[in-house]
């Protein structure tokens, strides 16, 4: 049975308005993070590029909703329903839904039949501490699947099949089929997100360039604009409004 990891509170605020996110890690190999959020007098936020797909559940005006979020290849502006309470599950890279091709979710989402129907079955909407139990049921039912080759590629471990039988072309094809993204895109997004967090934490720009293996500061600036939607200065000062990224811990 999987446990519940410690929580981290992330507050993304513009003046007296904003979003309050609470996120936690998970010891489930199928889950990257679990988060909750409540909106307060804010109608848009900056969505940040991510290699993860997810399930999101929200309540507004006494009604419950569920949806699927896809990987995002660049930063953008996302609407935020007023006074809504959200719970989200971000899945590990390499997992996917059996009934929804991952490539159809890239840079878009899907609202599910209500309140929560997935893969032809009705499921109970989870609370933030019930995420692992829900995902375990989805996995047992075959609704969520994964390609183990993807995690092997990302963590650099040996493949489950003899390396000589898996060509680079086959690896890239399977990686893209399982994630909707190329290996290069996944790594670029992760690098930009990490760099944004370091800048928000006070690391000098020049040091972030070195840490992220960027060519120079303009190279870093382009990556931040594309994937995070912020300048280095905005990240260091907290400017730019509400953003869906852990910048405080």
Q: Taking residues 151-169, what's their average pLDDT? A: 69
pLDDT at 154 over 70: yes
Residues with Cβ within 8 Å of 73's Cβ and at least 6 positions away in sequence, in order, are 49, 106, 107, 181, 185, 189
Q: Taking residues 177-195, what's their average pLDDT? A: 96
200 in the Ramachandran plot: left (φ > 0), alpha (ψ -120 to 50) or beta? alpha
43 versus 234: the higher-pLDDT residue is 234
How high is the pLDDT of residue 5? 46
How high is the pLDDT of residue 78? 87
pLDDT at 210 over 90: yes
Residues with Cβ within 8 Å of 121's Cβ and at least 6 positions away in sequence, in order, are 141, 143
Fill in the DSSP letter of residue 243.
Answer: B
Question: Can you give the residue ranges of every domain in the chain?
Answer: 4-146, 148-179, 183-229
Q: What's the whole-model pTM score? A: 0.87
**What would the pLDDT profile of 74-104 be if each residue is shown by its tens digit?**
999 988 887 888 999 999 999 999 999 999 9
Distance, CA of 188 to CA of 227 (rounded, Å): 9
Q: Is 90 exposed, middle or buried (0-12, 13-18, 19+ CB in 10 A)?
A: buried
Q: Taking residues 61-81, what's their average pLDDT? A: 92
């Amino acid at each position: 049975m999987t446990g519940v990891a410690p929580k981290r509170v992330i507050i993304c605020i513009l003046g007296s308005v904003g979003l309050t996110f609470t996120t936690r890690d998970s010891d489930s190999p199928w889950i990257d993070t679990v988060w909750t959020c409540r909106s307060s007098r804010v109608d848009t936020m900056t969505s940040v590029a991510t290699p993860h797909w997810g399930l999101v559940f929200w309540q507004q005006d006494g009604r419950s909703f569920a949806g699927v979020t896809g990987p995002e290849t660049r930063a953008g502006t996302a609407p935020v329903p007023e006074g809504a309470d959200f719970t989200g599950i971000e899945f590990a890279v390499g997992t996917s839904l059996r009934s929804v091709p991952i490539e159809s979710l890239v840079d878009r989402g899907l609202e599910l039949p209500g309140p929560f129907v997935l893969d032809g079955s009705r499921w109970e909407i989870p609370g933030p501490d019930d995420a692992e139990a829900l995902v375990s049921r989805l996995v047992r039912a075959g609704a969520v699947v994964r390609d183990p080759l993807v995690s092997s590629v990302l963590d650099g471990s040996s493949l489950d099949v003899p390396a000589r039988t898996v060509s680079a072309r086959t690896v890239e094809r399977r990686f893209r089929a399982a994630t909707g993204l190329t290996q290069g895109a996944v790594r670029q997004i992760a690098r930009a997100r990490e760099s944004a967090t370091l800048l928000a934490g006070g690391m000098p720009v020049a040091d972030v360039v070195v840490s992220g293996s960027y060519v120079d500061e303009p190279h870093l600036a382009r990556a931040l604009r594309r994937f995070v939607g912020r300048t280095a200065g905005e990240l260091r000062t907290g400017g730019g409004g509400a953003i869906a990224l852990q910048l405080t811990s």
